Chains A and B, each alone.
Chain A
Amino acid sequence: MLEKFLALAPELWTALGQTLAMLGIGLSAAVLVGGPLGVLLFLAAPGQSLQNKPAAALLGWLVNTVRSFPFIILLVALVPLTRVIAGTSIGPLAAAVPLSFAAIPYFARLVEQSLREVPRGVIEAAHAMGASELQVILRVLLVEARSSIVLALTVLSISFLSYSAVAGVVGGGGIGDLAIRYGYYRFETDVMIATVAILVLIVQAIQFTGGRVARRLDKR
């Protein structure tokens, strides 16, 4: 058992690296694109300061549509686009493209939800002091919602860890893929158990860190 595990170690390391790469790229895209999109979703909603019915409807429709794709269908449907962006349709980099596509609207919704928890009066007070829309976003909304946004990112990381296993279908690699290839297809139960154990550890670590950071940031 130990021998086998050692023989598998290099592959485990590679797989771990691939998983982290996919998560890293997907989550970065989520934060950089999904974050601002979430702020727009919030501000365009009725009763908010940039209230705009057509824009809110369009953005909401876009987000819902992407989110309604089962991930495996999105993965396949995006292959042509993945070739253009990543130069290939196989491997962890290629898998990061559909992962990002799925992560962006998901995180956008989570951010929108977090911002809704900021009391309206605080936003109003900032306006009364002469704050611009951008200042309200950066100095009020993101500051007041920061711990809730960190928790949203934690939830996102954990669901995308399991999404990244599905990416094995396009040769994405990663820990989940290892579990499927060795443990499931080859009936090597011990490998399956080992990989799942690693995934459990990663999930625990993400949740623990996210929870701690969120608590630190929360002064309410």
Chain B
Amino acid sequence: MIRIENVSKTFYLPKGQRFDAVRGVSLSITGGEIFGLAGKSGAGKSTLLRLFNLLERPDAGTVTIDGRELTSLSKAALRAARQNIGMIFQQFNLLQNTTVSDNVAFPLRIHGQRRAEIAERVAACLELVGLQDKSGSYPAQLSGGQKQRVAIARALASRPAVLLCDEPTSALDSETTRSLLQTLQDINARLGVTIVIVSHELDVLAEICSRAAIIEDGAIAETIDLRAQQALPRTALGRELAALAAGRAIATAATRQNTAEAEHA
């Protein structure tokens, strides 16, 4: 589904120093997976994510999504291809001066869809995130969690195969975070959308990811499988993440057993 090959990105700071944000990263993500990018702040995980839809153009390497090599596309073709890649952000980035439904309609309008289809699709997407009654509200009238749900509805409006999430829960409290992650999992399960999620919160990644890459100094230190038992991860961050995921698995199993016993009794 997503294949990143040998991508690099260097920034030149105003004073002329160079900063290698991403160095020669290769990565392959399967369709339908929820994949995490973990790392300390400044490790390059957000820049790496932004290379996926070419918000940052890599200096070298190729990005292929759903069989299309984005790095070789013309500007117009890239704009069309971006309909297939939704994205949500830490700060939501909604249009403040338009209503919730106009925000969700945005990606459809810019690609010239018919009005009736847009209305139908907007309603369906708002229902998917449970905000059908907020369609006429403005973002300023919503809570943080609701804003992020609007952003998810907007990102899904053009029926993308991939959803990129850049620190989607970092501006939310823990309660809201949990329900938002539930929504993301739900979308992944129901629509089969491949999700790539960047977060500095390891418990967020442990909660929903099947695999995660640990990013250190702009490169992938290791990739770990969070669903299957495996050898102890090499990095400290990886061990912490694996422990969190394992702990969560045990907790879930315990809850299930308790529920089963309760039902027996």
Contact = CB atoms under 8 A, between A and B. Distances in A.
A145 to B, nearest CB: 9
B87 interface: yes
Q: Which 7 A-B pairs have the closest CB atoms?
A: A130-B82, A125-B93, A130-B79, A121-B93, A129-B107, A220-B96, A219-B138
Contacts of A140: 95
Contact of A139 (B55, B93, B109): B109
5 contacts: A122-B95, A126-B110, A130-B82, A140-B95, A144-B95
Interface in B96-133: 96-98, 106-107, 109-111
A130 B95 contact: no
Nearest to B90: A121
A135 interface: yes
B91 interface: yes
A40 to B, nearest CB: 19
A64 B55 CA distance: 33
B97 A124 contact: no
Interface of B: 53, 55, 78-83, 85, 87, 89, 91, 93-98, 106-107, 109-111, 138-140, 154-155, 158, 164
Interface in A92-130: 119, 121-122, 124-130
B91 A119 contact: yes
Contacts, number: 72
Interface of A: 119, 121-122, 124-132, 135, 139-140, 143-144, 146-147, 217-220
A219 B110 contact: no
A220 B96 CA distance: 5
A129 B82 contact: yes
Given A129-B154, A143-B95, 18 more contacts: A124-B93, A125-B87, A126-B106, A126-B110, A128-B55, A129-B107, A130-B80, A130-B107, A130-B111, A132-B79, A139-B109, A139-B110, A144-B96, A146-B97, A147-B97, A218-B97, A219-B98, A219-B139
